[in-house]
Chains A and B, each alone.
Chain A
């Protein structure tokens, strides 16, 4: 280093500031004054931060609103609309056979008579179908069935997948290896084909035995669908959960927690589960439209719910034959399916953007 001597005072320089500086400002600042400047960003939890992001996403918010509207409609509508989904329309207690395939908001001859006589006939918002049933209420019930199927199927997938995946992920070693090999094999089976196959089989096997039980209205096809979901569809979730657990298990903060003496249970509760939550929620949210999709698909092929119980898919299928004559019958369930699936997809995307730890900047 050079022979630098810092003790030589710097050369005197002319005062560089043209403006007048207030000497009192050169008093030391107190700690409170300094603290005012130190504006730290408020710390939030992962959950709160994610929810904030979610609500800022217009598409996600819109889809949530749509879903809530749909939910409210399907809960309230049967209370308001006086028709049932399985029975023919009756006028004055008599079955009205002339009310076949009516376009929306029209009345049949008998109903018109009744109105002229002063009775109040609730309008057929979507018209009627080929068996003289009010189409609106059928679509509503169809939506109920489709949503319920989606919901329960996702629950099955969530439950089995979460359990399996967490055991595999946390246990590690040989257990993990074997469990994952099984998952690999199941994963490579083409699910839709298996669903179809099982539906056909179970339809024959269970058809007779279900008569008279409460499950008869759902039909063997739906049961077979749930069975296949329970048998096949959980593998995706299991893989996801296991992957998350493995990543987290090997993260430094888990190591740190163990080094500090945290018990296993505490580690699972406080570290592993919260970090898995995001992925699990997203995956479940995206599983619902997938299940509804599968159900509609099966119904469309003719392997859906037992008539007269409607589902959006079976309604669409029934409408197919008469598409040229009555196109509206196709449109309503189709729009229903698209709306529900789209909303869930957008919601799932929004959740992923908000909660996925990999995407956080």
Chain B
């Protein structure tokens, strides 16, 4: 096939893969029809694809998806076996229940079976969306997760979006005004904010703007003031993206092909936005994965500080209460999100940079 034809087909393949991933993710949450047999089939297909696919991109995509699945599996395994390594089992905190109740619990949670079998059952449950039951509240964990995740998703989503958009803008401004006032101001503030952990920022913001100055109300279900938590979450990633964009821009602007574009007579704006930015954004895309991880972990504390009732709050409560099924469930859920985000950002990165050798 012709090179250009091949490139187009690769592009289509990536787009199709991304779309299917999205469908798969949605399906996992909404339709509990997936069984382990189907999953096994998909995994085998992916392995075959990674070995035999003629397309470079196809092989890469298969390998990456396999790695992601493997990671989730390992995390689930570590979580499960770690939790079960704790002496006394998940009910040690409660008062010893009566023998009858004990029997029911044991049957419900399969506590009599060997650990390996328990693990398989747990995995099966996960695939159906059944995360078990909280030992503290007795509610289905999946319900708790999905309720509270609505808030966290909004929080994290706003934070990520703002961090990206503002970060790229500020970084470009800094790069173009190098060593001038705008650059110095931007660099000053970003250096500051990069070093301030999100939970410190959260408490400081809460202290100053909420409690002392009363500019913003305390978060409650009626009055969902997202401003302060979002700011607390996004300041550090935004600062990082700003510096990353600036460095990347400066490096790209020093490249020979930018000189060629200027010598051709391309206007200054076009040189920056058309020629330079495209290349400069590539490192920023690779950062999206780690940024998601940061926002997810940061949200744990920020949500606790602002008492938003999101997933993070529940997670921290689970830890404080030693509510093991809750900890397990939320850990696996969050980990899956992080892994998916990293996977997607890697795939998009390949899409954007046509030079990369797929390995």
Contacts and interface: CB of A to CB of B under 8 A. Distances in A.
Contact between chain A and chain B defined by CB under 8 Å? yes
Q: Which of B82, B197, B304 has the most CB of A within 10 A?
A: B197
Interface string A327-343: 10010001001100110
A342 B199 contact: no
Interface string B195-211: 11101100110110001
Contacts of B85: 201, 205
B67 A301 contact: no
A193 B335 contact: yes
A342 B296 CA distance: 23
Given A197-B79, A320-B305, A338-B200, A301 B319 contact: yes
A190 B293 contact: yes
Interface in A271-296: 289, 293, 296
A194 interface: yes
B86 interface: yes
Contacts of A55: none
Contacts of B70: 185
Contact of A327 (B67, B71, B207): B207
B339 interface: yes
A198 interface: yes
B186 interface: no
B339 A188 contact: yes
Nearest to A199: B319
A190 B334 contact: yes
B334 A316 contact: no
Contact of A345 (B191, B206, B293, B338): B191
Nearest to B208: A327
A342 B203 contact: no
B339 A197 contact: no
A102 interface: no
Interface in B286-330: 293, 296-297, 300-301, 304-305, 316, 319-320, 322, 327
A297 B199 CA distance: 8
A338 B194 CA distance: 10
A330 B335 CA distance: 31
A297 B85 CA distance: 25
A297 B83 contact: no
A211 interface: no
B87 interface: yes
Interface in A175-217: 184-185, 188-190, 192-194, 196-198, 200-201, 204-205
Interface string B124-142: 0000000000000000000
Report the contact-size class of chain A (Cβ under 8 Å from the partner): 35 or more
Nearest to A342: B195
A86 B184 CA distance: 44
A300 B342 contact: no
A303 interface: yes
B199 A196 contact: no
Q: Majority SS of interface residues in chain B?
A: helix
Contacts of B191: 59, 342, 345-346, 349
A59 B70 CA distance: 44
A159 B111 CA distance: 42
A192 B195 contact: no
B346 to A, nearest CB: 10
B102 to A, nearest CB: 21
A348 to B, nearest CB: 11
A307 interface: no
B75 interface: yes
Contact of B75 (A190, A204, A334, A345): A190
Contacts of B301: 297, 300-301
Interface string B229-263: 00000000000000000000000000000000000
B192 interface: yes
Contacts of B75: 189-190, 193-194
A334 B86 contact: no
A302 interface: yes
Contacts of B48: none
A300 B75 CA distance: 24
B312 to A, nearest CB: 10
Contacts of A296: 197, 199-200
A188 B196 contact: no
Q: Which of B195, B206, B304 has the most CB of A within 10 A?
A: B195
A218 to B, nearest CB: 20
Contacts of A185: 67, 70-71, 74
A57 B196 CA distance: 22
Contacts of B293: 190, 192
B200 A337 contact: yes
Contacts of A189: 71, 74-75, 335
B144 interface: no
B161 interface: no
B68 A188 contact: yes
Contacts of A337: 197, 200
B331 interface: yes
Contact of A293 (B197, B316, B334): B197
Nearest to B297: A192
A76 interface: no
A330 to B, nearest CB: 6
Given A190-B338, A297-B197, A341-B195, A320 B203 contact: yes
Nearest to B300: A301
Given A190-B293, A303-B319, A330 B207 contact: yes
A185 B199 CA distance: 29
Contacts of A20: none
Contacts of A190: 75, 293, 296-297, 334-335, 338-339
A197 B331 contact: yes
B203 A345 contact: no
Give 3 nearest A-B pairs by CB, closest first. A342-B195, A192-B297, A341-B195
Interface of A: 59, 184-185, 188-190, 192-194, 196-198, 200-201, 204-205, 289, 293, 296-297, 300-303, 316, 320, 323-324, 327, 330, 334, 337-338, 341-342, 345-346, 349
25 contacts: A188-B339, A190-B75, A193-B297, A194-B78, A197-B82, A197-B327, A197-B331, A200-B327, A205-B85, A205-B86, A205-B87, A296-B200, A297-B199, A297-B297, A301-B304, A301-B319, A302-B316, A302-B320, A316-B199, A316-B203, A330-B203, A330-B204, A330-B207, A337-B197, A345-B194
Given A189-B71, A341-B195, A342-B195, 7 more contacts: A190-B335, A197-B327, A198-B82, A316-B199, A323-B211, A341-B197, A342-B196
